[in-house]
């Protein structure tokens, strides 16, 4: 269940932990897989862990913006200030989706839907960038479709991993959410 | 004037059927020493958390602390509480966090160490201290904050007799200085000269215990009346060995070691004498030692060599619990070795722990974790079961159940080695391996037991 109470220290630590680990892993691994959309794996995974562990509105957005600011400061990835959009946009989209998502839906399905919504927002960023740069509509649409397809694949992979990880965190008493 | 007062406390874990505390009351005044007994998992450690104000789950009732009163706590496991590398740094930790000036800090650290009788260099590494010394160090680290009430969680189970004596002397002195003490402890015969109030935590309430109701009988070796005669090949066989870490002082010498199927050996010795190292060496998982002249099942012990035939229970049960629920934990190895899964359910029923089946093993009490870790190994029915302090944190009820389980395993042919600080009166043994003064002395119920067979 989502609630609107402010973040406590426990929540803040989890949000910071997810953002830091996301940026640190991205920075350390510097994966050059040549596969479009693989960055959605880590991003979806940590945003969904943050959602599961904190369970409060705005937690994912905060995590995304924090990760974006950290990536910008540390120079992880290309794009300068656009990194804030790159990390923040999927997170904000996920949070907006949570406002509409029925809380009775099983956690696994919620994770899958949120991961897909995040990927849509992430792929839209490329779409807007392409259009602003004056690329042809056909090319931009093709790139968008490709990003969406591959991004969704990696995001779904991450979404499937999240419920068992949350279950482990709960069994170690690190999170206290009955629904998990 | 009361230092701490708990009134009409109600508390319940979300998953528990019955409340842990129901109308619980407790008042502690300066200079008093309260000793609280209770069965495994009855909420003794939770009560300490409540007193300290760190119980995260909601509870009802009133908790009053006198103005300006400070509480200190010494937890069950020193390895969890000690944070720094050296003695001085550990005691200074709280002062550093309070921003005390360094010249004042040094005086306060030395004074606290003197109060607990630790007259050793501030640069001494904590790793070189005995468990008894570590306990006193934990107290010193609390004394720098000048606590009015010191809480201690089951010190007896962790300490050998010398450690208990050292601790009792320090606590007596603190009480004379006006510090109130609250000790939760299974063993009833301990700290009897120190205690002013004795309680039994039962059915969610604290019930006063009189001195006459207390079992103070000392622990003695109990030999098996009808000894298990050596049958078949020796499970453990050695013609003598020296246990020592490479390039370090030896732990002990042993002349001969023999154990046959179905026999029970008690491995007894003080903290740090090498009991755990010997058990790990027998399991083939001890690093940093040269190969010993010991054969297990006729082979040199090596990690993974014996599969389900050998099982080891570690001193810290949390180290070997990893699944999400108790039943998954117990069935993990059964699945791995293709053994019937219903053994786990049957054993939980036998131990009266069926209600814990869906609980997380990581959130159980120390004693309950010990039970689950032991049960997870026992349901494999190994040929050799090595147990490192399996009765730590267990009350008399569960001690009896575990003794019955071990005797049943022994009858089925499992050889058992049980390490502890002191002999366990409730458990009849065939052999006693006592480590003292750098030697492992072997005693047995019958002289024939030491003849080599096969």
B14 in reach of chain A (CB within 8 A): yes
Contact A173 B362 (CB under 8 A): yes
Sheet containing B21-28: order of strands: B21-28, B4-11, B60-65
Q: How confident is the model at residue A28 (pLDDT cuts 50, 70, 90)?
A: confident
Distance CA B158, CA B392 (A): 7
Q: What is the mean pLDDT of residues B63-84?
A: 87
Compute the radius of gyration of chain A from its Cα atoms: 16
Contact A170 B14 (CB under 8 A): no
Measure A173 CA to nearest chain B CA, in Å: 6
Could you give the angle at the alpha carbon of B181 between the alpha carbons of B177 and B186, nearest 5°? 145
Q: How confident is the model at residue A163 (pLDDT cuts 50, 70, 90)?
A: very high
- The answer to whether residue B115 scores a pLDDT higher than 90 is no
Nearest Cα residue in chain A from B360: A171
A8 in reach of chain B (CB within 8 A): no
Tokens of B370: 């010990």
- The answer to whether residue B129 scores a pLDDT higher than 60 is yes
Nearest Cα residue in chain A from B56: A176
B chain contacts of residue A170, beta-carbon cutoff 8 Å: 324, 360
CB-count burial class (<10 Å; 0-12, 13-18, 19+) for B295: middle
Contact B325 A173 (CB under 8 A): no
Nearest Cα residue in chain B from A167: B324
Q: How confident is the model at residue B130 (pLDDT cuts 50, 70, 90)?
A: confident
Measure B47 CA to nearest chain A CA, in Å: 18
A176 in reach of chain B (CB within 8 A): yes
Query: What pLDDT score does B453 carry?
Result: 41
Q: How confident is the model at residue A4 (pLDDT cuts 50, 70, 90)?
A: low
- The answer to whether residue B399 scores a pLDDT higher than 60 is yes
The residue behind tokens 């720094």 is B84
Q: Are A48 and A115 in contact (CB under 8 A)?
A: yes
Q: How confident is the model at residue A176 (pLDDT cuts 50, 70, 90)?
A: confident
Measure A7 CA to nearest chain B CA, in Å: 16
Contact B324 A167 (CB under 8 A): yes
- The answer to whether residue B47 scores a pLDDT higher than 70 is yes
B318 in reach of chain A (CB within 8 A): no
Residue to mutate among B356, B362, B365, with most A CBs inside 10 A, is: B362
Query: What pLDDT score does B454 carry?
Result: 34
Q: How confident is the model at residue A1 (pLDDT cuts 50, 70, 90)?
A: very low
- Which strand (E) or helix (H) includes residue B149? strand B149-153
Q: What is the mean pLDDT of residues B173-188?
A: 88
A chain contacts of residue B368, beta-carbon cutoff 8 Å: none
Q: What is the pLDDT of residues B255-307, one digit of tens each?
A: 888 999 999 999 998 877 888 889 999 999 988 888 888 999 999 998 888 99
Its sign, for the CA torsion B210, B213, B217, B221, is negative
Query: What pLDDT score does B30 carry?
Result: 92
B385-405: burial string, b at 16+ Cβ within 10 Å, e else: bbbbbbbbbbbeebbebbbeb
- Which residues of A68-134 form beta strands (DSSP E)? none
Q: What is the mean pLDDT of residues A123-135?
A: 86
The ipTM assigned to this model is: 0.71
Distance CA B165, CA B156 (A): 10
Query: What pLDDT score does B131 carry?
Result: 75
Nearest Cα residue in chain B from A169: B324
Distance CA A133, CA A126 (A): 10
Query: What pLDDT score does B452 carry?
Result: 46
Measure A156 CA to nearest chain B CA, in Å: 24
In this predicted structure, which of A69-73, A169-173, B34-38 has the lowest mean pLDDT? A169-173
How many of the other CB atoms lie within 10 Å of CB of A168?
A: 17
Could you give the angle at the alpha carbon of B52 between the alpha carbons of B49 and B55, nearest 5°? 40
Q: Are A108 and A61 in contact (CB under 8 A)?
A: no
Name B319's Cβ contacts closer than 8 Å, sequence gap at least 6. none
Residue B71 φ then ψ, to 5°: -115, 140
Give the one of B57, B324, B361 whose C-beta lies nearest to A168's C-beta.
B324
Contact B360 A170 (CB under 8 A): yes
Distance CA A12, CA B21 (A): 31
Which of B220, B263, B272 is closest to B243 using CA atoms? B272
B193-211: burial string, b at 16+ Cβ within 10 Å, e else: ebbebbbbbeebebeebee
Query: What pLDDT score does B271 carry?
Result: 77
Tell me the pLDDT of chain B averaged across its residues.
86
Measure A61 CA to nearest chain B CA, in Å: 27
A168 in reach of chain B (CB within 8 A): yes
Measure B377 CA to nearest chain A CA, in Å: 21
Name B324's Cβ contacts closer than 8 Å, sequence gap at least 6. A167, A168, A170, A171, B360
A chain contacts of residue B56, beta-carbon cutoff 8 Å: 176
B chain contacts of residue A176, beta-carbon cutoff 8 Å: 56-57
- The answer to whether residue B205 scores a pLDDT higher than 90 is no
B chain contacts of residue A172, beta-carbon cutoff 8 Å: 360, 362-363
Contact B362 A176 (CB under 8 A): no
Q: What is the mean pLDDT of residues B395-408?
A: 90
Distance CA A110, CA A112 (A): 5
In this predicted structure, which of A65-79, B10-24, B430-444 has the lowest mean pLDDT? B10-24
In this predicted structure, which of B149-163, B273-287, B326-340 has the lowest mean pLDDT? B149-163
Contact B325 A168 (CB under 8 A): no
- The answer to whether residue A2 scores a pLDDT higher than 60 is no
A chain contacts of residue B57, beta-carbon cutoff 8 Å: 176
Nearest Cα residue in chain B from A178: B14
Chain B, 48 to 67: residues with Cβ < 8 Å from chain A are 56-57
B chain contacts of residue A168, beta-carbon cutoff 8 Å: 324
Q: Are B375 and B40 in contact (CB under 8 A)?
A: no
Which of A108-117, B13-22, B75-84: highest mean pLDDT?
Answer: A108-117
Strands B149-153, B180-184: pairing is: parallel
Which of B391, B376, B385, B454 is closest to B421 using CA atoms? B391
Query: What pLDDT score does B407 carry?
Result: 93
Q: Are B61 and B25 in contact (CB under 8 A)?
A: no
Q: Which residue has the higher pLDDT, A114 or B448?
A: A114
In this predicted structure, which of A69-78, B180-189, B219-228, B368-377 has the lowest mean pLDDT? B219-228
Contact B360 A171 (CB under 8 A): yes
A chain contacts of residue B49, beta-carbon cutoff 8 Å: none
Nearest Cα residue in chain B from A177: B14
Sheet containing B415-420: order of strands: B241-244, B250-254, B439-444, B431-436, B264-269, B415-420, B384-388, B310-313
Distance CA B136, CA B423 (A): 24
């Amino acid at each position: 269940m989502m609630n609107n109470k402010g973040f406590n220290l426990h929540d803040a630590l989890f949000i910071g932990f997810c953002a830091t680990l996301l940026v640190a892993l991205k920075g350390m691994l510097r994966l050059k897989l040549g596969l479009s959309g693989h960055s959605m794996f880590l991003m979806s995974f940590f945003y969904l862990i943050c959602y599961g562990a904190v369970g409060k509105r705005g937690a994912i957005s905060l995590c995304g913006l924090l990760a974006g600011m950290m990536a910008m400061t540390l120079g992880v990835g290309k794009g300068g200030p656009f990194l804030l959009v790159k990390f923040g946009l999927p997170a904000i989209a996920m949070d907006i989706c949570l406002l509409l998502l029925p809380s009775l839906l099983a956690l696994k399905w919620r994770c899958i839907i949120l991961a897909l919504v995040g990927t849509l927002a992430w792929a839209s960023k490329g779409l807007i960038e392409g259009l602003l740069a004056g690329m042809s509509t056909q090319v931009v649409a093709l790139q968008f479709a490709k990003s969406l397809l591959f991004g969704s694949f990696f995001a779904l992979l991450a979404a499937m991993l999240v419920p068992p990880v949350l279950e482990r965190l709960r069994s170690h008493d690190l999170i206290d959410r009955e629904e998990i | 004037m009361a230092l701490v007062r708990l009134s009409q406390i109600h508390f319940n874990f979300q998953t528990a059927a019955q409340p842990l505390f129901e109308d619980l009351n407790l008042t502690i005044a300066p200079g008093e020493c309260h000793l609280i007994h209770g069965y495994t998992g009855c909420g003794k450690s939770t009560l300490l958390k409540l007193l300290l104000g760190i119980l995260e789950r909601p509870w009802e009732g009133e908790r009053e602390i006198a103005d300006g009163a400070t509480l200190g706590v010494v937890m069950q496991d020193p390895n969890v509480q000690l944070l720094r590398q050296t003695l001085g740094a550990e005691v200074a930790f709280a002062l550093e966090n309070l921003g005390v000036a360094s010249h004042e800090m040094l005086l306060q650290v030395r004074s606290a160490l003197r109060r607990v009788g630790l007259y050793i260099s501030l640069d001494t590494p904590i790793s070189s201290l005995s468990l008894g010394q570590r306990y006193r160090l934990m107290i010193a680290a609390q004394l720098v904050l000048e606590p009015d009430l010191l809480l201690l969680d089951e010190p007896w189970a962790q300490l050998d007799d010398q450690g208990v004596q050292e601790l009792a002397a320090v606590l007596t002195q603190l009480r004379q200085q006006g510090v109130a003490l609250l000790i939760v402890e299974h063993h009833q015969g301990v700290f009897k000269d120190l205690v002013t109030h004795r309680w039994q935590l039962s059915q969610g309430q604290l019930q006063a215990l009189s001195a006459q109701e207390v079992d103070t009988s000392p622990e003695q070796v109990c030999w098996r009346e009808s000894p298990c005669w050596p049958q078949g090949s020796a499970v453990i066989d050695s013609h003598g060995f020296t246990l020592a870490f490479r390039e370090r002082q030896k732990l002990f010498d042993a002349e001969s070691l023999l154990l046959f199927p179905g026999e029970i050996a008690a491995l007894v010795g003080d903290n740090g004498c090498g009991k755990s190292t010997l058990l790990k060496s027998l399991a083939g998982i001890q690093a940093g030692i040269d190969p010993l002249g010991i054969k297990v099942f006729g082979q040199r012990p090596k990690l993974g060599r014996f599969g389900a035939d050998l099982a080891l229970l570690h001193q810290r049960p949390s180290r070997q619990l990893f699944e999400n629920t108790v039943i998954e934990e117990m069935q993990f190895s059964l699945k791995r070795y293709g053994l019937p899964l219903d053994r786990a359910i049957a054993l939980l029923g036998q131990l009266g722990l069926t209600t814990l089946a869906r609980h997380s093993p990581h959130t159980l009490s120390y004693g309950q974790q010990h039970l689950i870790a032991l049960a997870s190994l026992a349901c494999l029915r190994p040929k050799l079961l090595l147990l490192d302090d399996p009765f730590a944190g267990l009350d008399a009820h569960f001690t009896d159940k575990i003794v019955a389980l071990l005797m049943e395993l022994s009858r089925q042919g499992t050889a058992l080695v049980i390490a502890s600080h002191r002999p366990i009166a409730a458990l009849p043994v065939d052999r006693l391996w006592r480590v003292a003064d750098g030697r492992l002395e072997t005693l047995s119920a019958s002289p024939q037991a030491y003849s080599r067979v096969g």
